[in-house]
Structure 1
Amino acid sequence: MSFPLGPFPACERLRFRLPSTNDAAFYLKLMNEPDYIRFIANHDLKTEEDALQYIKGKSLARFAQHKVGLWVVELKETGDPVGVCGLVFRKELEHPDLGYALLEKYRGRGFAREAATAVLEFAGKVLKLRTLCAITAPDNAASSNVLKKIGFEADGQLHLTEIGATADYYVWKLRYVEKGLA
């Protein structure tokens, strides 16, 4: 597999990097938190070996195929991973999907908003994308609020076979495109 070596999104307090096989314990913890299972998915990861297989078969595979995926987001100050954030290409969606998940202990500090904003800037400036979408569980008010704060607009609901659920659907467009300046 071939992976992009950069550039990656950038922001003030956080660093983005590719997932690695050394992240198995972090992935196991993140993906077994109650809100992750409730609002995103239950990947049924029971061991670090399960998490390692997920990293190789899903996370890194996305980067190999699309050159983007969900980066591991860590504190610049300490190097501690706080979550994941990036873009996911889904067959059922017309545009790349902005996704993010943070460990519970890092929520409520503006990290999701900061990371998501960095990915939006990267998507527009580096990847030259003009439109992105995002999906959330209908009862995930915190994620919906983040999306609205960074410029996404609600656009109904979709039932996605890939996730086996109905999700709230949001769209983000570069503002100068909307004004006919592109």
Structure 2
Amino acid sequence: MSFPSGSFPAGERLRFRLPSPDDAAFYHRLMNEPDYIRFIADHGVKTIDDASRYIEAKSLARFATFGVGLWVVELKETAEPIGICGLVVRKELTYPDLGFAFLAAFRGRGLGREAGQAVLTLASDGLKLRTLCAITHPDNVRSANLLKKIGFEAHGQRHLTEIGETSDYYLWQQSDVESGLAQAAP
């Protein structure tokens, strides 16, 4: 599964861009926050050089292969990177996975919700996707609540070999009314 590259999500307060090796210090900080390690993974990013290699080997490789990935999310006002958000294509999942992670200092301000909604808009309007999924650690109540606020519904759990554990599984499906496909009654 791959998608045309070049389109970026957009938010009122947020700008999305491709990651770059210049983002290594930001990635190092994000990926070493306790919640990131607990709820997402410990990718062994212990140095700035590790982060730079991760960006090249994982983040940019996803965009090159699939046309989508996790964009760096910045505040428009300051251009400060605050998180990552986007679509992850996984072999074990039928639909692209909405993924996100934000620095703790920027949580609780509605920025994650704005970022997630911006990716949903790009997915439906730009990429013409009608279904997305999302996975969360079963104890990650904050992420589960965010997914529900932007229209995802819980659909049990999935064990993914790629991440080595069982995750809560969510689906987002665009309805015909939302997409403008509903036919007016005669």
The TM tier, using the shorter chain, reads over 0.9
**C-alpha separation in 2, matches of 1:85 and 1:13:** 14
Contact preservation (8 Å) 2:5, 2:63: no
Aligned partner of 1:114 in structure 2 is: 114
**C-alpha separation in 1, matches of 2:132 and 2:153:** 11
Contact preservation (8 Å) 1:9, 1:119: yes
Give 3-state SS (helix, strand or coil) of 2:129's partner: coil
Cα deviation, 1:125-150, whole Å, max 9, x if unaligned, reads 00011100000000000000000000
Aligned partner of 2:91 in structure 1 is: 91
Contact preservation (8 Å) 2:62, 2:68: yes
Shift of 1:121: 0.4
Contact preservation (8 Å) 1:130, 1:177: no
Question: What stretches of structure 1 of length at least 5 have no aligned partner?
Answer: none
Question: What stretches of structure 2 of length at least 5 have no aligned partner?
Answer: none
Aligned partner of 1:28 in structure 2 is: 28
Contact preservation (8 Å) 1:84, 1:100: yes
Aligned partner of 1:56 in structure 2 is: 56
Cα root mean square deviation, aligned: 1.6
* Superposed counterparts of 1:9-20, under 5 Å: 9-20=9-20
**C-alpha separation in 1, matches of 2:159 and 2:139:** 15
Shift of 1:5: 6.6
Asked if 1:80 is matched to 2:66, the reply is no
Aligned partner of 1:157 in structure 2 is: 157
Count, aligned residues:
179
* Superposed counterparts of 1:120-135, under 5 Å: 120-135=120-135
Cα gap change, 1:177 to 1:146, in 2 (>3 Å) = same
Q: TM-score, normalised by structure 2?
A: 0.93
Q: TM-score, normalised by structure 1?
A: 0.95
**C-alpha separation in 1, matches of 2:168 and 2:178:** 22
